[in-house]
Structures are given as structure tokens and as C-alpha cells.
Structure 1
Amino acid sequence: MLVVHATFPIAAEHHERATELIRELAENSRKEKGIIDYRVATDVDDENLFRFFEQYEDEAAFGAHAESDHFKQFEAELPDLLAGEPEVTRFEVESATAVEL
């Protein structure tokens, strides 16, 4: 499994457009074959910092996502929306288990 965690600091004046794009991206991404989960949340300390949590079955699913029309649209508009540098971390996971609370 491949896990990606990304943060995107969005300029306050572009919050509405970014939210619209991100919502469309997440909804469409969750329909893709090979995506286990694809979630986006705003940071509790900064509503203009969007955190992406993505899980892919494998490298092929991750590559297909990067070539999707909805991702390319997001990628094309993103530079104009940013208030700083995005951070993206990729994890290759051998196994995962649920933690009981």
C-alpha cells in the first residue's frame, strides 16, 4: 500500500475556489480504481491549510491518479492559489491494522 500525506497552504483570498477544486478532486478521486481512501481536511489551527490523506493499493493506482483529468485540473490551478510551499510525504506501507480505542 502507498500512503501520501500532503499539506497545501492556500491564500485566504482563494479559499473558496480552492475548497471547490479540492472537493471535486476528492470526490472524483474516491471513484478511481485502486484508491483505498482519499480524504482532505482543513487544519484546526489554520482553515487555509488543507491536509490530504491518500491511500493507494499500489504504485499503478498512484500513477493513474496523477494522470486523471480531475488531478490535472487541480494541479494547473494550484500555483495561483497557494500562500506557501506545499509539503508532500509518501509512505510505502507493508501492513496496516485498525487500532481499537
Structure 2
Amino acid sequence: MLVVHAEFPIDPAKREEALELVRELAEHSRAEDGVVDYQVATDIDDPSLFRFTEQYEDEAALGAHAETDHFGTFEAALPDLLAGEPEVTRFDVSATTDVEL
């Protein structure tokens, strides 16, 4: 499994525009083959910081996601929305276990 964690600092003046694009991106991404989970949240201290947590079955699923129209639309709009540098980290996961709380 592959996990991608991304943070995008969005210009507060463009937050509503970004929200619309992110909602569309997340909705379509969740329906893709090979997507295990696709979540987007905003930071509680900075509502213009968007955090993506994406899980893919394998490299092929991640590659296919990057080729979709909805990803392309978001990627094209992103430079005009950003208020800083994005941070993206990829994790290659060989095993997972549930944590009991």
C-alpha cells in the first residue's frame, strides 16, 4: 500500500475556490479503482491549510490517479491558490495493524 500525505497552504482570499476544487477532487478520487481511502481536512488553527491523506493499493493506482482529469484540473489551478510551498510525503507501507484505544 502507498500512503501520500500532502499539505497545501491556501491563500485565505481563495479558500472558497479551493474548497470547491478539493471537494470535486476528493469525490472523484474516492471512486477510482485502487484508491483505498482519500481524505481532506483543514487545520483547526489555520483553516486555509488543507491536509490530504491518500491511500492507494499500489503504484499503478497512484499513477492512474495522477493521470485523471480531476487531478489535472486541481493541479492546474493550484499555483494560483497557494500561499506558500506545499509539502508532500509518500510512505511505502508493507503492513498495517489496528490500534486499540
TM-score range, shorter chain: over 0.9
> TM-score by structure 1 length?
0.99
Whole-Å separation in 2 of the counterparts to 1:79 and 1:98: 37
Whole-Å separation in 1 of the counterparts to 2:80 and 2:16: 13
Partner of 1:15: 15
Query: Unmatched 5+ residue regions in structure 2?
Result: none
Whole-Å separation in 2 of the counterparts to 1:43 and 1:35: 23
Partner of 1:55: 55
Partner of 1:77: 77
Superposed displacement of residue 60, structure 1: 0.2
Partner of 2:66: 66
Q: What amino acid sits opposite 2:62 in the alignment?
A: F
**Residue deviations 1:30-60, cap 9 Å, x none?**
0000000000000111000000000000000
Q: Work out the percentage of aligned pairs sharing the same amino acid.
A: 71
Whole-Å separation in 2 of the counterparts to 1:42 and 1:12: 12
Partner of 1:6: 6
Are residue 97 (structure 1) and residue 88 (structure 2) matched? no
Paired positions, count:
101
Whole-Å separation in 1 of the counterparts to 2:46 and 2:3: 23
Query: Unmatched 5+ residue regions in structure 1?
Result: none
Whole-Å separation in 1 of the counterparts to 2:20 and 2:97: 33
| Runs ≥4 residues deviating over 2 A | none
**Residue deviations 1:39-88, cap 9 Å, x none?**
00001110000000000000000000000000000000000000000000
Superposed displacement of residue 24, structure 1: 0.4
